[in-house]
Amino acid sequence: MGGAALIEIRGVRKSFAGQARALDGVSLTVRENEFFTLLGPSGCGKTTLLRIVAGFERPDSGEVLLAGKDICPLPPNLRPVNTVFQNYALFPHLTVLENVAFGLEMRGAKREDAKTQARQMLETTMLGEFGARLPSQLSGGQQQRVALARALACKPRVLLLDEPLSALDLKLRRTMRAELKRVQRETQITFIFVTHDQEEALAMSDRVAVMNEGRVRQIGEPAEIYDAPGDRFVAGFIGETNFLPGEITGCENGFLRVLLGGGATVAVAAGNGEKSGAVTVAIRPERAALHSPADTAANAENIVTGEVRDIVYLGGTTRYDVVLPDGAALSVSESNESGGGNYAARFARGEKVCASLPRDSLRALER
């Protein structure tokens, strides 16, 4: 994606009276024509950061550059930035057409020209027939599309989306994801998307910034974030992860040797994580594989043993909850390949199993 930097956020801090610091020195860069996502649990500061970019809040310190120019002193109406609000914030007293034409008109377009452009905008978003209605007469999904059309009508440099899909039901949310992505590709407008839904973030984004407690924990492409989480928080927040406590005992050929609590020693890809001392070894459930103790020779190096505590059938996959000798829990997810209604679990509850942990899938993280 190597586009030029469009938005540069440098050391932004913000706190609200009587509350913990909302933003504690956030720096990041959003590139031109990028679908950039701010991901984090509620209260992590992602919405505050978005509001600072939009101009609704002023940072206590730090700066926000848009195409190299500090926009912090500008009020919202002077920033070439538009927002899709969480609950859409459509003007209830204006028709759909008037809502979409509002920004154009405020920017000085003649009322008739604004209406014409707005009408075209509605046509392209398949809302043409709803122009004369009031927002309250539309369904949630339609309101969502109006909010998007209204924000895009002004052709902003950056479009900010504040959890725009959270009010929709699951099915509609999936459809809208695809549509948002399509719109972003076609309009070539930079999107900054705020969400707490990691699936959404992974599915849509070019890059994701994971935030927690007012700080950015990791920035990267979805696969990078998923496969190479930089810390325990990121690993835990995105997808499911097993955390196994251990101790680094050495390092050879770019692999760390880690002694797990249960007595087994595993090799772990060194990456940019911890290099010594007490660590947590992380592995995704679908990256581990279970074997019966009989056939372990193939990968003798990274083997742990344990006992199946629980089996959960999830349709496409089956999850085995395994307890290791030191009491640590290890979830292993296997895809169910056998169709035709003759599914049977490979292992039984209480059965002794071996789990192989491929060394490239393991990460050693700070405890």
Residue number with CB closer to other proteins (77 or 342): 77
Give yes or no for residue 93 binding other proteins (CB under 8 A). yes
Give yes or no for residue 333 binding other proteins (CB under 8 A). no
Question: Sign of the CA dihedral 273, 234, 229, 268?
Answer: positive
Stretch that binds other proteins, among 73-81, 169-177, 273-281, 304-312 (CB under 8 A): 73-81
269's tokens:
């890809």
The answer to whether the beta carbons of residues 57 and 13 sit under 8 Å apart is: no
Residue number with CB closer to other proteins (89 or 323): 89
Closest CA to 240 of 331, 327, 315, 309: 331
Distance in angstroms (rounded) separating the CA atoms of residues 244 and 325: 12
Stretch that binds other proteins, among 83-91, 117-125, 170-178, 200-208 (CB under 8 A): 83-91
Residue number with CB closer to other proteins (83 or 212): 83
**Closest CB 164 distance from other proteins, rounded Å:** 13
One of 1, 106, 132, 312 touching other proteins (CB under 8 A): 106
One of 46, 115, 150, 363 touching other proteins (CB under 8 A): 150
Closest CA to 30 of 6, 66, 65, 49: 6
Q: How many other C-beta atoms are found inside a 10 Å radius of the C-beta of residue 247?
A: 14
Closest CA to 161 of 269, 317, 28, 39: 39
**Closest CB 18 distance from other proteins, rounded Å:** 10
84's tokens:
């899709």
Give yes or no for residue 83 binding other proteins (CB under 8 A). yes
Burial class (CB in 10 A: 0-12, 13-18, 19+), 344: exposed
Residue number with CB closer to other proteins (157 or 309): 157
**Closest CB 81 distance from other proteins, rounded Å:** 8
One of 4, 11, 56, 366 touching other proteins (CB under 8 A): 56
Give yes or no for residue 154 binding other proteins (CB under 8 A). yes
Give yes or no for residue 75 binding other proteins (CB under 8 A). yes
One of 23, 30, 44, 54 touching other proteins (CB under 8 A): 54
Burial class (CB in 10 A: 0-12, 13-18, 19+), 194: buried
Give yes or no for residue 89 binding other proteins (CB under 8 A). yes
Q: How many residues at the interface with other proteins, by CB under 8 A?
A: 26
Give yes or no for residue 72 binding other proteins (CB under 8 A). no
**Closest CB 141 distance from other proteins, rounded Å:** 19
The answer to whether the beta carbons of residues 226 and 241 sit under 8 Å apart is: no
Supply the DSSP string of 132-187, one letter for each residue: TS-GGGS-HHHHHHHHHHHHHTT--SEEEEESTTTTS-HHHHHHHHHHHHHHHHHH
One of 25, 62, 76, 245 touching other proteins (CB under 8 A): 76
Distance in angstroms (rounded) separating the CA atoms of residues 324 and 279: 17
Give yes or no for residue 166 binding other proteins (CB under 8 A). no
**Closest CB 314 distance from other proteins, rounded Å:** 39
Give yes or no for residue 193 binding other proteins (CB under 8 A). no
**Closest CB 57 distance from other proteins, rounded Å:** 10
Give yes or no for residue 81 binding other proteins (CB under 8 A). yes
Report how far apart the first and last C-alpha atoms of the chain are (Å, whole number).
33
Supply the DSSP string of 214-233, one letter for each residue: TEEEEEE-HHHHHHS-SSHH
**Closest CB 83 distance from other proteins, rounded Å:** 5
β-strand pairing of 329-335 with 81-84? unpaired
One of 103, 222, 230, 306 touching other proteins (CB under 8 A): 103
Give yes or no for residue 136 binding other proteins (CB under 8 A). yes
β-strand pairing of 190-195 with 289-291? unpaired
Distance in angstroms (rounded) separating the CA atoms of residues 287 and 242: 10
Give yes or no for residue 102 binding other proteins (CB under 8 A). yes
The residue ranges that bind other proteins (CB under 8 A) are 54-56, 75-78, 81-83, 85, 87, 89-93, 102-103, 106-107, 134, 136, 150-151, 154
